[in-house]
Structure formats: structure tokens, C-alpha cells
Structure 1
Amino acid sequence: MPRANNGNNRIHCATTASEAVDAALSWKSKLGYATFSLSYVMQTMIVTWQMFYFTTFLNVSMAVTAVLIATGKIVASVIGPVWGYISDRMYHNALGRRFGRRRSILIFAIPANFVFYLLLWIPNLPIAVYFFANLLYWAFFAGITTVQYGLPSEMTENPSQRAQLVGVNQIAGAIGGTFLSVLNVYLFTIWGKDNWESYFNMALLYGIIGTAVLVLGFLSIQERPFDESTNVASADGAAGDGGETHIGVGKRLVSVVWNFLSVLKVKEFRNYLGLYLSEEMFRTVRGTLNTYFVIFVLLLDPQTVSLATGVNLLFGIACVGFFIWITARIGGPRAYRLGGIEVIFVFLAMFMLAMVASHIPAGTRAVLYIGLGLFMNFGITGVVNATQYTYTFIPDVDEIITSKRREGQYAAINSTIDDIFSSAETIVIGLVLEATGFVEGAQSQPPQTVFALACLFSFVPIVICLVGIVFTYRLKLNRENHELLLDEIDRLRAGGSMDDVTPETRALVESLTGMPYEQCWGHNNVINVTHKG
């Protein structure tokens, strides 16, 4: 859907980068983007079975395995911003101009991801090999996720098209998770579950499937063309040299760190982080405590967890279609509030169920839990969809500040902050449970622990979700403001003068960026710490 012509603010050019990414995307491109989530069958295999496989069949101690896995995740969180920094600048070399700045990253990351993934499942290798294979697997996986998270903003400026990309990404993730769960049950039946060959064969199968769909994604996605806005490297050199001066390793490392930190100057990004961290944190609390809540509070068996998970995944796929439509119509903040308020009421209902669990039959408890889970999954689907949709607008705000397209920078930082907070949150939950008297390996828990579990599971997510809802009122980038922002970007791209800005646009830009208008459009040091504006 083309953007409206707002008076004289919009300057039409024969060909601009915005026009190239404003047209409707083909379904080939949309499905190509969905392949990234489908490829997570490899990641799910790692998360679900790596620790069990190492300790059971490779005879690696639990302590060594835990260190090995934790180190890989730490590496991923640290190296993510490096991938974002590099991918944003790949148009500065021949490889990037030949294949695209995102595709050129995938040329290295896809095969390396497969090789190091497969090494983790080959028995009788030295511990050092497993350690470095795990480290490098996570390092290259971070490159793939950085490309994935940045693509919705990269592929289109059309809000409806971005909503569809976010939606197909969610659907593909749910399909991949359901496929893995069902197929695993079948494969264990025919191959057995007490021998290493079964796990190796499963890992090989998922490795081939995951890599194949990533290759399809590589061939299907589209990127912004090379122009001044995507030539991010031109902003790295000394003022006035066009970025052509060679930058030494030391200064390049400083630049990587500075680009990571300087994005926090962007006011709308800080507001978005409030949404994102709230969404991730309340889902982490729910996911971490869910099994404990079902078994020790509701007094149900573990099979109920598996059944509820499968049903919720399928229901979630149906919910995504609704939220693709509603989010594009009412915007991310309102859709977040719609899903968040619904989630809060369900958590309250879960607490009420917990309080009367011992007085109602197990079958009734199970039905009520699964039913409430469906309503909760509806709200969670909305919150996740709204958050991911809102994120797609952040690189547009960054462009009005820097005059450059840095989708990779924000995608990497998004992932890194998520890793840091989710790790810290998991540790805090463990400490709190221990403080309440949680008994490891026990078939039941003390009454004070059961009550603490019910409260943690129900009220902590409610508080976190309320924080996210508060941040939705701080966000300024609704659909109408986005139109006005893109019009101003188009005007400046076409050579328009900053002196000709309208009062309305000036006020909008300053409210989104947190900077005076005169310090925008590259007149700042957000990319280059040595730039004086």
C-alpha cells in the first residue's frame, strides 16, 4: 500500500529505496522469511536433548556439560552485536554488493552452523572438540538470528506487509515445534531411545531439514538495494572522508562497542525495550514454572503438560491469523494491551484454580487447566505479535537519526539483551524457589512452597505484564506517525533541506528520537563516536 502524499512533504523520485521496499511482497519472499523459524528444529534438538545426550551417551559429567552449554550461550550473546555491525556494512565490499548484505552473512553462517551442529552429536571425540564445536555453533547461529530479526524492516516499509512477515514467522515456529514433538515420538518408537545412534540420526535428520530450508530462505528473501542509506560503512571514517579511510582493529572494536551502546540514546527504542523485556520476562517466568505449577500445585501428571503444550501450539497457529489482521489495523501498542489484559485475567483465574485444586477431581482440574491455557495462549500470541511488529519500526526511527539503515544492529542488540535478562531471571527464580523450601527430587512439596509456586506463577507475570502495558502508552510510533516519519525520510533522502521541516514533523521526530531535530540525519555521533555533529 503506497504511502499518502502529505502536502509538499513528500518528494517523488523516479526510483528510491523506499519505493523499492514499499510494494507488496510476493508469497515466495514471505515464505522464504518463514524458513528461518522452520530451521529452528536444529535449535530445538540442541535445547531439548544436548545435555541428556552428553551426560548419558558421551559420558561427559553434568558440571562440564553445564559449563560447555553456558559458555556457548554467553558467546552468542556477546557476538550478536558483532554480526549486526558487520552485516550492516557488507555493501562496502564486493561480496555484499554481489549477494546482498544479509545474504552474504548467510553464505558463511549456514554451512558453518550445520557443520558445528553435527559435530556435537558424533561420539568419542575429545572434550575440547565438543567445547569448540558448541562455541562455534552458537557463534554462527547468532549470525543467522541477527539476519532473521532484521529482515521484516529490511524487506518492506509497508506496515501491513511487516505484520504478515511477523505472523508467518510465528506460524512457522509453531509448525516447526509441533512437527518436532510429533516426529520425535515416532522416531523413538522405531529407533529406540536407549542408544546413541537414535539421537545422532535424529540430529542428522533435523540438521539436513534445517539447513535445506535455510538455503530456500537464502534464495527467497529480498533486501534493500545498495544506496546511500544502506552504505553504513561510509559513516565510520573521519568526517568528510566518505568512510574510505582504513580503520584499525582497535578503533573498529571501539566502534562495535560504541554502536552497541549508542542505540540506547534512541528514545523510542528504549520504550520498545520496555515492551520487549516485559513480554520476554513474563513468558520466561511462565515457561520456567509451568511444569512445577502443574505437578506440585495442581497435582496433575507430566503428560498433562505435554498435552497442553501440543494443544496450545495448534491453537496458537489459529490465533496468529487474527492478530496479523488486528495488529495491522490498530497498531502494536493497542494490540499489546488487548493481549496483555486478557493474559492478566487468565493468570488470576489460574491462581483461583490453584487455591481450590485439592477440592476438585483431577479430571476437572486437567480440563480447566487446558482450557485456561488456550485463553492464555490467545493473549500471549497477541503480545508476542504486537511486540515483534512494533520492533519493525525501530530501524525507521534510527534512519531519521543516522540517515542509515541499521536493521542488523538493532536485531543483534535485541537478541543480546534478551539472553542477558532471561539468564538472570532463571537464576533469580531458582534462588527464590530454594528460599521457599523447594525439595529437589521430591514427589511433593511443603505447603509453603506450593503456595509460593502458585503466587510466583500467577502474580509475577501479572506485574511484569502491567509494566509492559505502561510502556505501550509511552510509544509514539502509531501508523499515522509512521507515515509522517517515512515521508520526512523520503524528503531528506531526495536531498531536501532540514531547514524546510514542518513544525508537526519536527515535533514528531524529536518525540521519537529524544534529540533536537537539528542533531538528526547524521548530525550526531550515534554511529561514529569521533563525529562531532
Structure 2
Amino acid sequence: MPRKNKEISLKTSIGFGLTDMMGGGAFTIIGAWLLFFFTTFAGLSPVQAASIIAIARIVDAVVSLFMGSFSDNFFKFKLGRKYGRRRFFLLLGSPLMLVYVLLWVTGMNYFYYLLTFLAFEIIAAMILIPWETLPSEMTTEFNKRTKLSTARMFISGTGTFLATFIPGQLFGVLGQDNPMAFLVNGALFAVIFAVCIYISFRSTWEREVSPEEMAQFATQKKEKKSFAENVKVVSKTIVDFASTFKVKSFRKHLLIYICSMTAKDAFNAVFVFYCVYALHSTSEVAANLLSFSIIGLPGAIIYGFLMIKIGPANLAKISYSTMILCVFGYGAVYYFHPSNLIITLGIISFVYQIGRSMLEFVPWNVFPFIPDVDEMITKQRREGIFASVMTFFRKSSVALATFLVGAILEAGGFVQKATTQPEGAVHTILGIMLIGVVGLLLVALITAFTFKLNKETHGILVDEISRLKNNGRKEDVNPKTKEVVEALTGYKYEKLWGGRTPADYPRTKAN
């Protein structure tokens, strides 16, 4: 149940962040190894393998779109009032994490892998979307939310490291060509994910719900709606989703998030292929190079400090520039064949993982502050809707990107289960890295130069919301505050704080 005035301690922050052991670990393993597992051990073609990931994530994206709104309104139900409208889904999802192990069974057909992966994706969304709103539920302070998010990213970094380090050790013990290594890895992580999610449930709380809100939920529960009224509710939900794009800061944030994360996913999807087929190395070497993700552990602490000192936009610029240079470095390794190959790859991979860990740190550290910008426009708290929209576009884009990677590999002449690949397939792998990954990072980098939300501007925004809530007059706003609020929202100050949806407002010329 909601707890009032609880302290955000280190223990609390770690407890909250443990769910991202699954968010960071499971999807790192899937991104780096699932396509390789399907084409090497499950006997699927690149298009079949990529289509499984794409179909599952498109269906999941649609489910995710409505999950946030559903959790926003879950107090209508007894379970929501007893366990929390967000935290209930952690309790439910914890034991369901054991589905993860079923992904790594060999000898099954296409539909088994499709349905199993679809089930895991939906369970993960059911957990992650409500969980991602908890920093906004637990505190309103920038530094405390950053503390929660920093702990989250530290745990995510731990998950990412373990997801890259442990498979490499299993390959070394069980053999490069033994699919049992994938099954053992899946079983181990399934148990870890289940335990971590349950600890998050026990460690977190939600904001107090006012008597007026509870009365509204109770009234809505008793009302029986006609079919036409239900259609109207669904239509309103869709309009609410669309209205998030009226928030200037969110549009820019979403573009940065989607482009950068999709670039990372595309890189992960082809990196093992790059090591095994372009460099004629092994999957164990690929896993060991990916395990430099351990830099994300101490990095999360440093990035939390930099997030406050230099702001998210500057942190993103450093991240994307670093990653672009490293991807070009990987290309140079292939074309120039350095004699000290492993050392060169190790240096590039270490620096790349610094940039990658920054990339993962920024978006969900920024997210808790987006609903504050929206509140200035709508006078509503809509964390769930924003989380749903972000997740929908993230999963839709990664579904498209993964399918394109598989289709491009197959079109480039990739041969499943082959120990070596034609020269055209190798060049295709390099093209995905040097053109696809770098192109997406460039878009994110350019957009980061125009992103204005940081600790200073967020503080000004929250202070203005507080002033207006305490019956402050809009006419008394100071010029600096007005300028900041307009820059973050994308609307003229006079049109804000009116209680209407963003669709009702004309945009400023700056947009």
C-alpha cells in the first residue's frame, strides 16, 4: 500500500532497481544471442528467426500501449487497492519469469519459438511498464528520483554484465557448439529475474491516493457502460496516447530514445556474427568482448553525478559520439587486420561499452520528469500513458529493426548453420554496423543538441507548478520561468495550466 513520507535510502533504491536485472539482463541476452541461437542451433533461417522477434514485439507493443493506462486505473479493482496499482504487477510477474527458460530449448518448431517468445515479451511488459512509473510515485524531488534511477542503472549494468559474462564462461566449459550452454544460462537467469522482481515489490511504494480519487474510482467501478460508451473510452485512450506528442520535451526525448536504443540493438544483433564470420573468431571471444559492459557498474555512479552536473543532453552527446567512433573502429579492424587483434578489439570494446552504458543510463533517468512537463499543460498525472507510449515505440522500432537485420542478412547471402559465410554476407554484416548503427546514432546526437530538460529547468518548472497549485496568479510569472516553461512544453504560457488536453492548445512558432 502507499507509504507517506518514506525516505529514499540506498537500500530502497537498490530494491527498486533490482527489476532492471531482468530489463538489462534478459534483453541483452536476447539482443546478442537469440538471433544467433535460432539460426545456429534451432535450424531457422535468418528471416524466420527475425520474424519471430518482430511479430512477438509488435503484438507486445500493442499490449504495452494499453498497459500503462490499465495500471493508471487499476485502483478500480480490489487487487489494485490492496497491493497497489503498479506494484501488483511485480507480484504477479515474479513467478511468471520462469517462462524465460523455455526460449532456449532446441528441437522445436517455428510456432513453439514464436509463442514462447511472445509470452515472455508480454509478461516483461506487464512488469516493466508499471514499475517504470514508480520513481514518479515515490518522490517528486529531482535528486531523489535520480538516486532511484542511478540505482536502477547500476543494477541494469550488473544484469548486462552478467548476461554477457556468464554465457562466455558456459561456452568455455560446455563447448562452443553445445546448445546446452544456452539452456543452462536461461534457467539460471530465469530464477535470478524472479527473485529480483519480488524484492522490488517488497521495497517500493506508491503515492497516496486522495479520497476524491478513490471515490471516483469507486463510482467508475459501479457504473455499467454500454458498448458505445466503451468504444468512447477506448477512443479517448487513443486520443490520450496521441496527445503525448504535443509535449515538446517528450517528442525530442522519444526520438533520442528510439534512435539510440535501436542503434544499440542493431549492433548487438550483428556483433556475434561480426566476430564469428567477419573476423573468423569464436562466440566465446564475442561474449568476452561484450562482457566489458561491466564498466556500466561504476559508470552508473559517475553518470548519476554527471546527470546532475552537466545535464542529460550533454551526457547523451558524449555517449553517441563515443559509440560512433568505436563502430568505425570495428570497421577498421576488419579492413586493416591488426596483428594484435584481440588487444585492439578489447580496447575498442572497452571504450564502446562506456558509451553504451551512458546511452542506457539517460532515457529512463529523464523519463520521470516528462510527466511534470505534461502536468503543466494538462493538470493531470499521466505517468502510465507516457510509459506505454515509450514502450510501444521502443518495441515497435526494435521489432522492425530486428526483422530488417534478418532480412538484410538473408538477402546478403547468409547461410544458416554454416561455419563460414560468403564474402557478400560478411560485407552485409559490416554494412549494418557502419551504415545502420552509425546513422541512427547520428540522428540521436543531432536531436540531443536541442534537448532543454535538465535539473535547473526542471526545478523552475516544478516550482511554477507548485506556485499555481497554491493559487498563484499566472499574470505574476517571472520572465525567466515563462521562457523555460514555454521551451519545455512547446506552448505559450498563457495557454498552459488550463486543465485541457494538449490537443486543445496551439503550438508556439518554435515548434
Kindly indicate whether residue 127 of structure 2 is the aligned counterpart of residue 144 of structure 1.
Answer: yes
2:322 to 342, 345, 351: 342
**Number of equivalenced pairs:** 499
Tell me which moved more, 387-396 or 173-182: 173-182
Alpha-carbon contact 1:55-1:62 (below 8 Å) kept: no
Alignment partner, residue 457 of structure 1: 433
1:486 to 438, 459, 462: 462
Distance apart, 1:77 and its partner CA: 0.9
AA in 1 matched with 2:316 = Y
2:311 to 321, 331, 342: 331
1:467 to 430, 437, 443: 443
Alpha-carbon separation, structure 2, partners of 1:330 and 1:194:
46
Alignment partner, residue 378 of structure 2: 402
Distance apart, 1:273 and its partner CA: 1.3
Helix, strand or coil: the match of 1:324? helix
Tell me which moved more, 399-408 or 194-203: 194-203
Alignment partner, residue 496 of structure 2: 520
Alpha-carbon separation, structure 2, partners of 1:456 and 1:69:
18
1:38 to 13, 21, 32: 21
Decide whether aligned partners of structure 1 residues 519 and 107 sit closer, same or farther in structure 2, where only a CA change above 3 A counts. Answer: farther
2:209 to 226, 234, 240: 226
Alpha-carbon separation, structure 1, partners of 2:47 and 2:407:
19
Relative to the length of structure 1, the TM-score reads 0.78
Distance apart, 1:29 and its partner CA: 1.7
Alignment partner, residue 81 of structure 1: 65
Distance apart, 1:464 and its partner CA: 2.1
Alpha-carbon separation, structure 1, partners of 2:335 and 2:177:
40
Alignment partner, residue 342 of structure 2: 366
Decide whether aligned partners of structure 1 residues 492 and 345 sit closer, same or farther in structure 2, where only a CA change above 3 A counts. Answer: same
AA in 2 matched with 1:286 = F
Decide whether aligned partners of structure 1 residues 304 and 189 sit closer, same or farther in structure 2, where only a CA change above 3 A counts. Answer: closer
Alpha-carbon contact 1:485-1:505 (below 8 Å) kept: yes
Alpha-carbon contact 2:160-2:294 (below 8 Å) kept: no
AA in 1 matched with 2:127 = I
2:86 to 102, 121, 136: 102
1:163 to 141, 146, 150: 146
Q: For 1:190-269, list aligned pairs within 5 A.
A: 206-227=189-210, 231=213, 248-269=229-250
Alignment partner, residue 287 of structure 1: 268
Q: For 1:498-509, list aligned pairs within 5 A.
A: 498-509=474-485
1:490-517 Cα deviation digits (max 9, x unpaired): 1223333444433433332222222333
Decide whether aligned partners of structure 1 residues 455 and 481 sit closer, same or farther in structure 2, where only a CA change above 3 A counts. Answer: same
Alpha-carbon separation, structure 2, partners of 1:306 and 1:276:
25
Alpha-carbon separation, structure 2, partners of 1:188 and 1:456:
26
Decide whether aligned partners of structure 1 residues 435 and 242 sit closer, same or farther in structure 2, where only a CA change above 3 A counts. Answer: closer
AA in 1 matched with 2:194 = T
Alpha-carbon separation, structure 1, partners of 2:420 and 2:180:
36
Alpha-carbon separation, structure 1, partners of 2:188 and 2:482:
55
Alignment partner, residue 277 of structure 1: 258
Kindly indicate whether residue 281 of structure 2 is the aligned counterpart of residue 297 of structure 1.
Answer: no
Alpha-carbon separation, structure 1, partners of 2:104 and 2:142:
42
AA in 1 matched with 2:294 = L
Distance apart, 1:208 and its partner CA: 4.0
Distance apart, 1:420 and its partner CA: 0.9
Alignment partner, residue 356 of structure 1: 336
Alignment partner, residue 10 of structure 1: none
Distance apart, 1:315 and its partner CA: 2.4
Distance apart, 1:93 and its partner CA: 5.3
Alpha-carbon separation, structure 2, partners of 1:295 and 1:130:
24
Q: Pick the structure with greater CA Rg.
A: 1
Alignment partner, residue 508 of structure 2: none
Distance apart, 1:266 and its partner CA: 1.2
Alpha-carbon separation, structure 2, partners of 1:441 and 1:260:
43
2:294 to 314, 337, 351: 314
Alpha-carbon contact 1:282-1:460 (below 8 Å) kept: yes
Distance apart, 1:202 and its partner CA: 6.7
Helix, strand or coil: the match of 2:19? helix
Distance apart, 1:36 and its partner CA: 0.3
Helix, strand or coil: the match of 2:133? helix
Alpha-carbon contact 1:51-1:66 (below 8 Å) kept: no
Decide whether aligned partners of structure 1 residues 173 and 233 sit closer, same or farther in structure 2, where only a CA change above 3 A counts. Answer: farther
Distance apart, 1:487 and its partner CA: 0.4
Alpha-carbon separation, structure 2, partners of 1:185 and 1:377:
17
Helix, strand or coil: the match of 2:199? helix
AA in 1 matched with 2:270 = L
Kindly indicate whether residue 356 of structure 2 is the aligned counterpart of residue 380 of structure 1.
Answer: yes
Relative to the length of structure 2, the TM-score reads 0.81
Alpha-carbon separation, structure 2, partners of 1:378 and 1:296:
25
Alpha-carbon separation, structure 2, partners of 1:232 and 1:121:
45
Helix, strand or coil: the match of 2:18? helix
Distance apart, 1:28 and its partner CA: 2.3
Distance apart, 1:63 and its partner CA: 9.8
AA in 1 matched with 2:18 = T
Helix, strand or coil: the match of 1:392? helix
Helix, strand or coil: the match of 2:500? coil
AA in 1 matched with 2:196 = V
Alpha-carbon contact 2:87-2:201 (below 8 Å) kept: yes
Tell me which moved more, 47-56 or 244-253: 47-56
Distance apart, 1:425 and its partner CA: 1.6
Alignment partner, residue 153 of structure 1: 136
Decide whether aligned partners of structure 1 residues 133 and 388 sit closer, same or farther in structure 2, where only a CA change above 3 A counts. Answer: closer
AA in 2 matched with 1:304 = V
1:420-475 Cα deviation digits (max 9, x unpaired): 11121223334444454445555444555544543442343333222212111221
AA in 2 matched with 1:419 = K
* Identity percentage of aligned residues: 25
Alpha-carbon separation, structure 2, partners of 1:116 and 1:36:
16
Alpha-carbon separation, structure 1, partners of 2:41 and 2:352:
36
Tell me which moved more, 266-275 or 276-285: 276-285
Gaps of 5+ in 2: 506-511
Alignment partner, residue 412 of structure 1: 388
1:472-494 Cα deviation digits (max 9, x unpaired): 12212122111110001112233
Alpha-carbon contact 2:295-2:353 (below 8 Å) kept: yes
